[in-house]
Structure 1
Amino acid sequence: MQASTQFEGSVEGLPNRIHEVIDHHVGATPDHPALIDDKTRLTYRELDRTVGRVAEALRALGIRAGDRMMIVSENSIPLACLLLATSRLDVWSIVVNPRLSPRELDQIRDHSGARRVLLTAEVSQEAATHAARYEATVQDVGPLRGIAVTGLNLTTVAEPVEADGANQVAVLIYTSGTTGTPKGVMLTHRNLLFSARATASFRKMAADDVQYCVLPISHIVGISLLTMTLMIGATVRLVAKYDPAALVKAMTEEGITILNGVPATYQRLLEYRRNAGLPKLDRGRLRVISVAGAPLDLDLKSRVEQELGLPLLNGYGITECSPGISGVRPDNPRADHAVGTVMPGLEAKLVGRDLKPVGAGEVGELHVRGPNVMRGYYRAPDLTAKAIDPDGWFNTGDLARFENDALYIVGRTKEMIIRSGFNVYPAEIEAVLSTHDAVVQCAVVGRPVEGNEEVVAFVQLIKGSTATVQDLMAHIAPQLTSYKRPSEIILMDALPATSTGKLLKHKLAESLRG
């Protein structure tokens, strides 16, 4: 199955560097708000001046073109300014979530050979704690106050600078994947700009939009939201930590128009409305709500749509693809699990284990090709060669199927369970389990047994629920054939997840082997 849509001038007209997205608006709409966080706001003119002064300060700190620089920060104006300033200097940004552990931070610093680590000590306690451990000096970086700066790494070597934005790395994003060992994904300026423009285009974004950016900029979606909004000349409302009460206020009082989240974002919003005794949420100017990052429970989708009176648009992407691969269009909403149609300018194909195309409607491994595909994994040519073939096709590692041009994600290739010779896709079992009223979230993994694999489900129940394992088994039995039914259901208070709410299935699988 091949699906591809040509996007006229897909890379034509793109700026060469991400910081250049603001240039037109600095001249055309200098007083329009560009960035707003909890403490301050900057117009496009102010943002341009601030970024220029930050770039000068970074140069004075010994940051050179081709260096890697870590920025440990929650979403905030200082983070956005540092990110754009590094682009001006041809420095690779490594934005890191301060909620990572010391071990995880050190792994990224050491692997990347970061020239310096900058931490927004005044934005979050977590960043301040890391700053103290690194014995970083809190100082001003240009007009930015309270930035903790570590000593200079004198041994690190700068990478060559590429004139063409298609080759110059803009950001290095570390992703643990299924192995638990972080990999540095090299995303170029063109990767980011191409993907951001495609998403802005199908959402019909305009300068009067206010994008609520609560997904961390330390992850690819947050960087893409920031880039696409500034590209359009609209306003980014930066949010350091998700709080449903603050989101409700932003809808009613701040005029936000676009909200992106993971399923947990919406789950917690509905819980807040119920617990706060609000009769109904006022969506204000909100016009687009989208979700990605984890399988979407159709019951949750339906409740969100009923509450906000808008279609919840499902999407699919991956860090290595900057991230956009497909999305449901606002003018063509869907009631099912589909993650929409493939982004314009991308090619997609589904292949079997023999790497040959699968038949129409069949499940295969999804491979994609286009200007959004990463340059590779940093300092890991072997991993890059495994992920991207000589013809430029990137193996997503996800199993999918097409129905006409609609894409459905079935699960991860590595997560597929082979039980008694049958292929079992965890996403299907999770979808059935999630229809039980008491289930908040669940994850299904395989457990190796002699000559076979068993299906094991981990389930988190609503607080105070009296539902039992037997109740859950009885609920799913009529809906799943015998080989798909879990051999065991394990109840947990909370499932292990990343800061963005993505479940860490490899940790659950490891717990079964321990």
Structure 2
Amino acid sequence: MTTLENPPSRPIDHLVQFGAADAAALLIGERVTTFAELDAGVGRLASWLLDQVGGPGERVASWSAKTRAACLMPLAAARAGLIHVPVNPLLKAPQVAHILCDSRAKLLVTNASRADMLGGGLPDDCAFQDLKLAEDVIDSGGQGLPPSIAEPDDLAAILYTSGSTGRPKGVMLSHANLWLGAESVASYLQIAPTDRILAVLPLSFDYGQNQLLSAWHAGAAVAPLDYLTPRDVMKAVARHGITTLAGVPPLWVQLVESDWPVETATRLKRLTNSGGALTPSLIDAMRTTFPQADIYPMYGLTEAFRSTFLDPALVASHPTSMGRAIPHAEILVCRPDGSVTEDDEPGELVHCGPLVAKGYWNDEDRTAQRFRPAPAASRYGGTAVWSGDTVRRDRDGLLTFVGRDDAMIKTAGNRVSPTEVEDVAVASGLIFEAVAFGIADARLGAAIILIVRGKDGRADPDGLTAYLRQNLPNFMQPQAVEWRDALPRSPNGKLDRVAIAADWTTKVAA
């Protein structure tokens, strides 16, 4: 595999033309959608979306489970010249309202119960349309829009991701970002038209959405799944003849602890991981449970999609490595002055090349912090993503993760902003201050701890717990909440987060 200096791309909605017309493209329940039907459905949905918002360039959001309409939305919006804003179905009303307001979405496609959850949180200039109507449009048989003629740099999507401070920020992705990401993954995973991919991750994640796009780029079929238990995943693998499964570490823990029939486990030939590192013991368990499957550890960040992957042939000998750059990515390890480190010298991972996103939506300040000129050593030049992650490169070019510079909590495959948890807790009206941080957890990667100071020395644990359950998604729920009469502060008057976290750790250890 080689990294192209100027890789060609096409409008992202053209992916539906890559598979054989009568080949399976989408498998939902017992329903099989062929590539020809997928193309026609994308065209009809695109025409309908354009009619709803009045013209190209507008943002259209979708908030739902993995329905057929939800799977077609990324391509239909792009075909209509619109910008898709997928919303994580696990989010609650406050987070969804922020995303709709921040993106200035003109349309939200969701079901009636989710719309009711928003209540007054739906912006005045954002219309609501029911998913059932979108499904009817796909089946209408009417004439849809033809494939688009979008330019590579045209904006195709805004994916919201938590930041180290404040509320989620929208990462702007172009047609080229999405196309080349799909091409890259299909290439290094060697996906073939005969493969079937089980899509268990949320389509609002770049990793989750790429399960659709990379499968269709290869002419393969994808089976979206909203699962409740590991057994649901097991049954879907058997039902659809799944060959490829992408997951995050907490899911792999659940799957290797399950009792897999041999004939089902051996169907899988390709396992991919991101959203947190695999431990050597978990890798061993995966190899035992799925003996016919190659394991692909990967590292990525929404601002540049995917950066590295580890060749399955090296997993046994280098289980803690992040691997090397994926196709279309250039990865440098740099010192603070931008110079490239020596072998085994820690430095910041800097991602250069055409997978770099276009910045954060409507946020010039945070864009300037993360998206900066590429180091002088870059072959691509232009803008690079300075990840904030410290890594090491060995003499063979393999990268190893060292640590994360920001305060993000990576839990159950999700990146959670401590500030977002704190803001919701304070909004309960039961506390004056809050500090959230992560602690190591064998199953989750990190568990969230919340330290709070109640009003007038009063504590209302039940009230705060109920409020958090109502206003935060499950993956943001604290594992423990501790009430205190006072919280330590630094000399400048700010809450001393390091001291608070250290005090908690000391108490637990004692």
Tell me the TM-score normalised to structure 2 length.
0.73
**Any conservation in 2 of the 1:281–1:308 contact (CA below 8 Å)?**
no
Name the SS for the 2:258 alignment partner: helix
Does residue 414 (structure 1) correspond to residue 406 (structure 2)? The answer is yes
Distance 1:298 1:330, change over 3 A: closer
Match of 1:342 in 2: 325
The answer to whether the 8 A contact 2:161-2:171 is kept is: yes
Relative distance call for 1:127 and 1:325 in structure 2 (3 A) is farther
Change (3 A) 1:229 1:76: same
- Counterpart residue type for residue 7 of structure 1: T
Aligned partner of 1:421 in structure 2 is none
Match of 1:11 among 7, 10, 15: 7
Does the alignment pair 1:46 with 2:37? yes
Instruction: Verify the 8 A CA contact 1:185 1:319 in the aligned structure 2.
Output: yes
Q: Is the 8 A contact 2:50 2:56 kept in 1?
A: no
**Which residue is equivalent to 2:224?**
238
Counting only pairs closer than 5 Å after superposition, residues 220-231 of structure 1 correspond to structure 2 as: 220-231=206-217
- Aligned partners of 1:269, 1:67: CA distance in 2, in Å? 41
Partners of 2:236 and 2:499 in 1: CA distance = 40
Q: C-alpha separation between the residues in 2 aligned to 1:103 and 1:266?
A: 30
| Cα 1:327–1:459 shift into 2, 3 Å | closer
User: How far 1:33 moved relative to its partner?
Assistant: 0.9
Look up the match of 1:20: 14
One-letter amino acid matched to 2:193? A
Residue aligned with 1:324, SS: coil
Deviation at 1:164, TM superposition (A): 5.5
* Residues 31-70 of structure 1 deviation map (CA, whole Å, 9 limit, x = unaligned): 1111112363311111111111112222222342100111
String of CA shifts for 1:323-360, please: whole Å, max 9, x gaps. Answer: 11111224544442111111133222212234433221
Give me the identity figure in percent.
26
1:101 to 72, 92, 95: 92
- Post-superposition Cα deviations, 1:395-438, rounded to whole Å, max 9, x if no partner, equal 0111101122111111212259xxxxxxxxx99xx9xxxxxxxx
State whether structure 2 residue 133 is matched by structure 1 residue 140: yes
Separation in structure 2 between the aligned mates of residue 49 and residue 357 of structure 1, nearest angstrom: 49
Does the C-alpha gap of structure 1 residues 501 and 215 become closer, same or farther in structure 2, counting only changes over 3 Å? farther
CA RMSD in angstroms comes to 3.5
1:512 corresponds in structure 2 to: 500
Whole-angstrom distance in 1 between the partners of 2:372 and 2:273:
30
Q: 1:302 aligns with which of 263, 273, 284?
A: 284
| Paired amino acid for 2:351 | V
Indicate how the Cα distance of structure 1 residues 24 and 297 shifts in structure 2: closer, same or farther if over 3 A, else same.
Answer: closer
* Counterpart secondary structure, 1:282: helix
Whether the 8 Å CA contact 2:90–2:474 is kept in 1: the answer is: no
* TM-score, normalised by the number of residues in structure 1: 0.72
Query: Does the C-alpha gap of structure 1 residues 43 and 500 become closer, same or farther in structure 2, counting only changes over 3 Å?
Result: farther
Report the secondary structure of 1:53's partner residue: helix
Distance 2:29 2:438 in 1: 40
Alpha-carbon distance in structure 2 between the residues aligned to 1:141 and 1:266: 34
User: Are the aligned partners of 2:324 and 2:399 in contact in 1 as well (CA < 8 Å)?
Assistant: yes
Deviations 1:253-295 (A, max 9, x none): 321011110011111112332xxxx675732431101111012
SS in 2 for 1:186: strand
Whether the aligned pair in 1 keeps the contact of 2:244 and 2:271 (CA below 8 Å) is yes
Assess if the C-alpha contact under 8 Å between 1:226 and 1:236 holds in 2.
yes
Q: Is 1:86 matched up with 2:77?
A: yes
SS in 1 for 2:320: coil
Superposed, 1:252-267 pairs within 5 Å as 252-267=238-253
Distance in 2 between residues matched to 1:499 and 1:331, nearest whole Å: 38
**Letter in structure 2 aligned against 1:225:** Q
Aligned residue runs from structure 1 range 26-425, under 5 A: 29-38=20-29, 40-121=31-112, 129-130=117-118, 134=122, 136=128, 138=130, 140-141=133-134, 143-144=136-137, 165-273=151-259, 282-309=264-291, 310-321=293-304, 323-335=305-317, 336-390=319-373, 391-403=382-394, 404-414=396-406
Gap regions ≥5 residues in structure 2: 140-147, 374-381, 419-436, 444-468, 483-496, 505-510
Tell me if the contact between 2:269 and 2:294 (Cα under 8 Å) persists in the aligned partners: no
Aligned length: 414
Aligned with 1:71: secondary structure?
strand
2-structure distance, mates of 1:271, 1:199? 28
Separation in 2, partners of 1:457, 1:171: 30
What is the SS of the residue equivalent to 1:285? Answer: coil
Query: 2: CA distance between counterparts of 1:199 and 1:186?
Result: 20
Task: Give the direction of change, closer, same or farther, for the CA distance of 1:355–1:7 in structure 2 (3 Å limit).
Answer: closer
* In 1: Cα distance, 2:340 partner to 2:474 partner: 34
Give the aligned partner of residue 449 of structure 1: none
Counterparts of 2:218 and 2:474 in 1: how far apart (Å)? 25
Q: 1:40 to 1:81 in 2, by over 3 A?
A: same
Name structure 1 gaps, 5 residues minimum: 147-161, 417-425, 431-442, 446-455, 463-495
> How far off is 1:216 after superposition?
0.8
Q: Post-superposition shift, 1:9?
A: 7.1
Counterpart amino acid of residue 215 in structure 1: L
| Amino acid in structure 1 at the alignment position of 2:60 | M
3-state SS, counterpart of residue 369 of structure 2? helix
Match of 1:458, as an amino acid?
I
Cα displacement (A) at 1:75: 2.1
**CA spacing shift, 1:385–1:303, aligned 2, 3 Å:** same
Q: Structure 1 residues 76 and 361 mapped into 2: Cα distance closer, same or farther (>3 Å)?
A: same
Deviation at 1:316, TM superposition (A): 0.5
CA contact (8 A) 2:173 2:358 kept: yes
2: distance between equivalents of 1:223 and 1:91? 17
Alpha carbons of structure 1 residues 283 and 128: separation in structure 2 relative to 1, 3 Å: farther
Task: For residue 15 of structure 2, give the secondary structure of its aligned residue in structure 1.
Answer: helix
- Counterpart code for 1:113: R
Compute the displacement of 1:229 (Å): 0.7
Q: What amino acid is aligned across from residue 22 of structure 1 in structure 2?
A: V
Report the Cα offset of residue 241 of structure 1: 3.1
Change (3 A) 1:54 1:461: closer
Contact 1:259 1:290 in 2 (8 A): yes
How big is each residue's C-alpha offset from its partner over 1:431-458, in whole Å with a ceiling of 9 and x where there is no partner? xxxxxxxxxxxx9x9xxxxxxxxxx983
Query: How many angstroms apart in 2 are the aligned matches of 1:141 and 1:55?
Result: 10
1:482-510 alpha-carbon deviations (Å, 9 max, x no partner):
xxxxxxxxxxxxxx9x97979999x9969
CA contact (8 A) 2:177 2:356 kept: yes
- Per the alignment, do residues 236 and 499 of structure 1 end up closer, same or farther by CA in structure 2, a change over 3 Å counting? farther
Given that residues 314 and 328 in structure 1 are in contact (C-alpha distance below 8 angstroms), is that contact kept between their aligned partners in structure 2? yes
